Structure 1
Amino acid sequence: MNALRRLWRSAGFRLAAHYALLVGITMLAALAIIYLQTVGVLHQRMARQVSTTAQQLATLLEREGADAVVREIERTLADGRSTDQEMLLLVDAQGRRLAGNLDTLPAPGADGQRQVLRKGRSVRAWLVVRPVAQGHVLVVGSDLSDQQALEELIVSASAAAAFVAMLLLAGGVFVFRQELERSVGAVRRTAARIALGDLRHRVPLSEDDDEFALLEQDVNTMLDRIQSLMDGVRHVSDTIAHELRTPLTRILARLRAADDDGADAGQRRAAIRTAIAELEDLNRVFGKLLQIAEAEAGAQRGRFGAVALHTIADDVVELYGAVAEAQGATVLREPCEALQVRGDRELLAGVAANLLDNALKYGGPTCTVRVGTEARDGWGLLTVQDDGPGVPEADRTRIGTRFVRLRPQVGGHGLGLAGVQAVVALHGGRVHYEDAQPGLRVRVELPAAGT
């Protein structure tokens, strides 16, 4: 009983059992319809035949008399056609048997199945008992033995078919449950391994191209995303612990020095100002980290709408015009193709501003930066290209990693491009870093509005 209860708790078994029950009911209904239709047709045919024969003999009696009916009954019973099934009897007004193969006159009653005596044997027959002209009683019937044998054969065949079908259904339930358990079990085992902390484990992909294969692919994609996020969290945690220890230690040392009894008021004010500046810098770092985390979590997708990317690029170029002029750099707006993308205007403006700021910072004092927008194959492209020293190919894979600075002598915390990549990923886009010969070209691909 416990084993059956555990088996019933299986969703695959319940689903297969319900399916088998529906198929079984449908099959039994079909067999019942076939049986009733077959037997009904045979009964209707026999009833029509018996009624027709009775009507013909009654008419013959009225026209030609009892002797003609006697001769017709004797001829019919002697012609050798269905003699073992035909039942005929003519009785006069005094109850004397004139002709026929029945031993006794059945009691009057409605047309239908009755037990009668024929040649000393009780048989079941379909009978019509009719009073006719001159007080005679005419009995016409047909033996139901062959029909009963046919009905029994149909019932036996239906029972055998039902038994075989039930065996097949039982086997189908087992196979269905095993197949479902094989597919779902792989996902369950992977989930159990993931719950134990093994984020590298994945669902083995089947060779089939069905719903379960798509589920396995989706689960693996989800696990890849989870592992990527967890790796990012671990990296951020480790980096924060490493990167923040130095400024916090520096702040603590300055505040302790300011707290020393021998420190004058000027030293204390300088220590406090320096501590405030460094704490504000740390606050900006945490703000950027929170922005990256929000973008990676997809928290701002609800605000997405159609955004004119070319207008954003125009505004950012205008905003940085004074900065570029101050360092002797040139910012060109080319190519300048109008295009619409779907996203958040503020986030995309931050992407463009960050890329242009980086290009001016790393391109050099008199660099030329080109900011372009163009549409290509259903994508909106934002490119920011400088003609500075560029980035060696071996280091391009490290661009965008949190707290990684390829040129430490240039100020910053290594979070700008990490934020760019997070925002672009939030929009379903991609970031590419290419050699501009000279300089670096950053190409951002975003899905065009309406795609």
Structure 2
Amino acid sequence: MSTAYDDYPGRQTGPLAFVRRLWQSVAFRLALGYGVSVVLFMMVLLSVLYVQTIGVLQNRIDRQLVSASHRMVSHFEAYGPERLADDITETLTDGVNSDTEVYLLATAAGKKMAGNIAVSRDLLKPTFGIVEKQVLRDGRISYSRFRTELLADGSVLLVGRDMRDQKDLEQLVGNALMAAAVVSVLLAIIGAIVFRDQLESRVGAIRRTAAQIEAGDLTQRIPVSGKDDEFARLSHDINLMLDRIEILMDGVRHVSNTIAHNLRTPLSRIRAKLEVASRPGTDPAQVAQATTFAIREIEELTIVFDKLLQIAEAESGARRQAFQPVSLNDIVADVVELYEPVAEEKGVELRVRMDEDVMAAGDKDLLASAVANLLDNAIKYAGSPARVTVSTQRESDTVSLVVQDNGPGIQAIERSKVGTRFFRLNRRVPGYGLGLASVTAIASLHNASLDLDDAGPGLVARITLPRLGKMTKR
């Protein structure tokens, strides 16, 4: 029987190896344990049924024997031993239960007066209650259940019943219960094997996909069946995780390539300046100029790395645990106060509009950084006369941070790219192409969305967050 693990290298074959693999399977052991529990329950239930069935039949027989014994004793007391002997003979020949009835009437000396069983010494002793013994009935051995009474004249009366039919019934019921137990055990084992194969086939698909991904093929995904069961939902969740991992890995490769490309140019400029300054006889003014240039370039690179570290920290989700209730109005007020001198210097009219009670759960510093990035871009690209509006808005379930300018805006085809690290629409404007990438990462950390829409003219950048108390874990 093949399973999802038949492709193991060095796999042993043979019955013993198959049994060993079965026992090593957690699925098989769980299913077998469940099956054994069911079988034990059935065995207990069938045993109770057997005891109750046989017990009811035996109790009925005992009641019949007691009733017949009392009737015979009453007959003896009323009519004497001769009439009792005639009554026994008539009962044995009336054709009613004659094949199972057992009677014996013997004198005190042991002489048989009537009945269908042979007299023996142990049968002449009175019994306490009802007993079962082997007797010689009509010339053959009979396993009978009987009651012995000592009559007033010393004679002995034995009233019983042949238990051959009862024993046959007990054996039949016992065999049926035993067969049911054997079938139950076999079904439990077969069910455990089938359950194990079904489970391993589903787990095997996950394992094979994991092996292909481990080999470097990040495009592989787990096949999802049309059934809405636990494995289908698990496969769907794992595929979503793999999609996210693939996106992150592509991002890492892109960032690595871009960083290497962007570092090469400033480092080459720094090296060229320092090489010129290090030549013998170089004018001290040139040395000082080269040193100042190198320091400025290194500071620019430090800013780039700081932004990359902030993006990485936001994407990791490490700061989500420190979220606290924050007022978006306070954040906007602080950022606007910081940028008012910059806007005034560049001749940008800076407007602020805020709704009341705009609260969210988040990291105040990160949200302030996101607003600052949006406001910085708006001031850079604002039109003429330049106007930038920063506002907060409150809806029933959400709150928003909105920055709007009257600049050229962003074409719809380019909006999906502006959140990519180092992507710049206009390279004539100073920048590193990390501002909107940082905003996107911060919005994702807060379970928020970043939307860029046309303001006609200009651009509306909107960060929409869940209202305080509406935050959902991602």
Structure-2-length-normalised TM-score:
0.90
Stretch deviating more after TM superposition (66-75 or 184-193): 66-75
What secondary structure does 1:300 align onto? helix
Distance 1:373 1:132 in 2: 112
Stretch deviating more after TM superposition (172-181 or 50-59): 50-59
Please tell me the root mean square deviation across aligned C-alpha atoms, in Å.
1.9
Matched residue type, 1:17: L
Instruction: Tell me by how many angstroms 1:365 deviates.
Output: 6.0
Instruction: Tell me by how many angstroms 1:337 deviates.
Output: 4.1
2:228 is aligned with 1:213 = no
| Shift in alpha-carbon separation, 1:136–1:424, aligned structure 2, 3 A | same
2:200 is aligned with 1:178 = no
Q: Give the aligned partner of residue 327 of structure 1.
A: 346
2:81 is aligned with 1:53 = no
| Shift in alpha-carbon separation, 1:149–1:276, aligned structure 2, 3 A | same
CA contact (8 A) 1:340 1:449 kept: yes
Stretch deviating more after TM superposition (304-313 or 435-444): 304-313
CA contact (8 A) 1:380 1:445 kept: yes
| Shift in alpha-carbon separation, 1:334–1:115, aligned structure 2, 3 A | same
| Shift in alpha-carbon separation, 1:354–1:121, aligned structure 2, 3 A | same
CA contact (8 A) 1:373 1:383 kept: yes
Q: How does 1:29-428 map to 2 (within 5 A)?
A: 29-105=44-120, 106-107=122-123, 108=125, 109-110=127-128, 111-334=130-353, 336-364=355-383, 366-376=385-395, 378-428=397-447
CA contact (8 A) 1:338 1:373 kept: no
Distance 1:132 1:366 in 2: 134
Stretch deviating more after TM superposition (67-76 or 90-99): 67-76
Instruction: Tell me by how many angstroms 1:396 deviates.
Output: 1.0
Q: Give the aligned partner of residue 442 of structure 1.
A: 461
Where structure 2 has 5 or more consecutive residues not aligned to the other structure, the ranges are: 1-15
| Shift in alpha-carbon separation, 1:138–1:399, aligned structure 2, 3 A | same
Distance 1:420 1:435 in 2: 18
Stretch deviating more after TM superposition (344-353 or 314-323): 314-323
Distance 2:396 2:21 in 1: 55
Instruction: Tell me by how many angstroms 1:360 deviates.
Output: 1.4
CA contact (8 A) 1:332 1:369 kept: yes
Distance 2:185 2:191 in 1: 9
| Shift in alpha-carbon separation, 1:182–1:378, aligned structure 2, 3 A | farther
Stretch deviating more after TM superposition (381-390 or 102-111): 102-111
Matched residue type, 1:267: Q
CA contact (8 A) 1:327 1:366 kept: no
Matched residue count = 451
What secondary structure does 1:134 align onto? coil
Distance 1:266 1:348 in 2: 44
Deviation per residue, 1:19-65 (Å, 9 max, x gap): 22222222222222221221122122222221232233234433443
| Shift in alpha-carbon separation, 1:425–1:76, aligned structure 2, 3 A | same
Deviation per residue, 1:150-179 (Å, 9 max, x gap): 112212222333333334333322321221
Instruction: Tell me by how many angstroms 1:377 deviates.
Output: 5.2
| Shift in alpha-carbon separation, 1:309–1:130, aligned structure 2, 3 A | farther
CA contact (8 A) 1:328 1:365 kept: no
Distance 2:229 2:411 in 1: 45
Structure-1-length-normalised TM-score:
0.95
Q: Give the aligned partner of residue 13 of structure 1.
A: 28
CA contact (8 A) 2:110 2:119 kept: no
Instruction: Tell me by how many angstroms 1:3 deviates.
Output: 2.6
Distance 2:385 2:379 in 1: 9
Instruction: Tell me by how many angstroms 1:139 deviates.
Output: 1.0
Deviation per residue, 1:294-318 (Å, 9 max, x gap): 1111111210232222332233233
Matched residue type, 2:294: A
Distance 2:358 2:77 in 1: 103
CA contact (8 A) 1:331 1:368 kept: yes
What secondary structure does 2:469 align onto? coil
